[in-house]
Each structure stands twice: as structure tokens, then as C-alpha cells.
Amino acid sequence: MNDELLNTLADILPKENILENEDMDLHTTFRVGGPARFMLLVDNTEQLSKIVRYLRATDHDFFLLGNGSNLLVSDKGYDGIIIKLSGEFANLHTEGERIYCGAAAQLSSAAVQALNNDLTGMEFASGIPGSVGGAMVMNAGAFDGEVGNITESVEVLSKDGEILTLDNETMEFGYRTSVIKGTDYIVTRAVFKLSYGKHEDIKATMDEINAKRREKQPLEYPSAGSTFKRPEGYYAGKLIMDAGLRGFSIGGARVSDKHCGFVINQGHASAADIYDVICQVQERVKDRFGVELEREVILLGDF
């Protein structure tokens, strides 16, 4: 089966774009995770369409990887195929008040592009480590801003390999969700609609936001950002702190002392350590306050 799979993939992708047993700790912000059976670096829509149609027709498990900033991969790895967009998907350019972004472009890079073109509305995204594609799926946000507020349209690849364009209303953006979740759509591009502002004001806001990040978030450690969604009527970090879990650790994983909403890798954590801390936090907060904390972090592989 591997020979057939490899031969088919080699007909679509350059050989150097097909990686076998690729260690996932190199591709996630937690810096943990075992090897993926294959990682495919896909450079354009034609390649993506062919690969996805083939993998679905042959029932191969695959996962679309963005920047790995919201992902925890098992220490055992992933016995499937990782698709990582690259090439033209990493492009971004500006036309007037719009920024056109490939799904693999970094959200923070789009924010810098906005600053360089005196466009306001994207300051909140300057420190978010994810990709544009991932941001569309989960309506990424911070500091009272969300990508759903500035997204004009999103281009996706459908299950049938067809390219569709979804407008903002069709995207159904909500708190850490969008219509993309729960569908077979794959984000390929997005268009942000901003407005002109004063360069110095935009930069000052970005500098202020990034200073707050450094002050309040444990950016010096590998993590996946906020580990849990904000429960309605509460703040996850405060619930965790009030449950006495500040600094709680298992192995190399720890609830951050700086911000209890972050589970961090102190430098030698395994994926199992991180997962166990997450589960313990959920259990203890539920026991103490009756509140169920929902993970923002996606699990990949067997735990």
C-alpha cells in the first residue's frame, strides 16, 4: 500500500515535497509529538485538489496542518498523512484597503503588511502565531479583536475538489468557530477588508498589544496559546487559579505561573505530560466549580 501511495503522490508532487516519518515536534508550537507517516508540502491549488481527491477516494486518513499553534500530537505520532500548504499558499499582497492572503501565510505577517500599508483593524493579530487558514477555521482573536470582524471572503476547496468562495455571512463566524468546522472544506485563501489609518497610531496600538502579551503571557515557553476556550460567564484562567492549580505540573508540563490559562512545555515535556495536565485541570475545575472547560487545543494521534 505504501508503494502505491508513494507512486501516486510522486506523480503529483516533487520528490522533495514528500517527507516520510517527519517528527511533528518540529512543526508544533508545543514542540512535542512523534513522527507522522507522511508529510506532504503542497504548493498550489491543483496539487491540493488532486491529492485530496485521491486520499478521500482511497480512505487515507489525513490532517491539514497550519502553523501547529493549536495542536497537540501524540508521542506515538500520527499514522496518517499531514498536508502542509506552502508555495503560493504563503503569498500575501495588498490592493487598496484589502489584503489577499494565502492560507499558509502567517496571521502576524498579514498584520505587519497592514501596518506597512497604513491599514487599521488588524492590530490585534500582530502577535497571534497561527496561519491565516487556521485563523479562518477557529475565528482566531485576541484583545477584543477577531478575524471574523475583518474577513470579507474565504476561498475553500470542497470535498469534490471544487473551489468555492464564501462571504462573511456564509462563514458564520462565532466564538472560536466558523462554518469550516465540521465540514470537509479546506481553506486556501482569504481576503481581509480594512480601512486607512495613521501609521503612527496603528504602530502604537500594535506595540501596546505586544507589550501586554509579553507581560501577561508565558511567551518564553513552548505552548499552544490559550489551552481552553472561555466558558460562558467565566474566565478559564481565573477558574484554574482559584482551583489552586497555578504551577501545577506533571513531568515537563506545567500550568503557567504567569497565566493559568496556558499549559506550557518547560523544555522536557512529552505530549502525554501535557495531555495529563489538561485532563487534570478539566477534572479539578469541574469538581470545584461545576464548570466544564473545553479545550481549544486539537489532539492528533492516540492518547
105 and 54 fall within a common domain: no
User: Of 22, 123, 146, 296, which one is the catalytic site residue?
Assistant: 296
Q: Which domain-ending residue is among 200, 215, 230? A: 215
CATH number at residue 46: 3.30.43.10
Which of 197, 215, 233 finishes a domain? 215
* Whole-structure pTM value: 0.91
pLDDT at 250: 98
Q: Which residue is catalytic, options 49, 69, 131, 226? A: 226
Can you tell me the distance from the alpha carbon of 194 to that of 202, in angstroms, rounded to the nearest whole number? 12
pLDDT on residue 297: 95
Edge to edge, the sheet with strand 98-102 lists 92-95, 98-102, 186-193, 151-157, 163-167
The reply to whether 131 belongs to the active site is: no
**Residue type (1 letter), 56:** R
Q: Tens of pLDDT along 92-112?
A: 999 999 999 999 999 999 999
- For residue 226, indicate whether it is catalytic: yes
pLDDT below 70 — which residues of the chain? 1
Query: What are the pLDDT digits (tens) for 239-256?
Result: 999 999 999 999 999 999
Catalytic residue flag (residue 246): no
User: Which CATH number is 261's domain given?
Assistant: 3.90.78.10
Residue from 176, 189, 254, 295 carrying the catalytic annotation: 176
How many independent structural domains does the chain possess?
3
CA distance 129 to 223: 11
Q: How far apart are CA 85 and CA 44, in angstroms?
A: 8
The reported pLDDT for the residue numbered 124 is 95
Of the residues 215, 236, 269, which one is the last residue of a structural domain?
A: 215
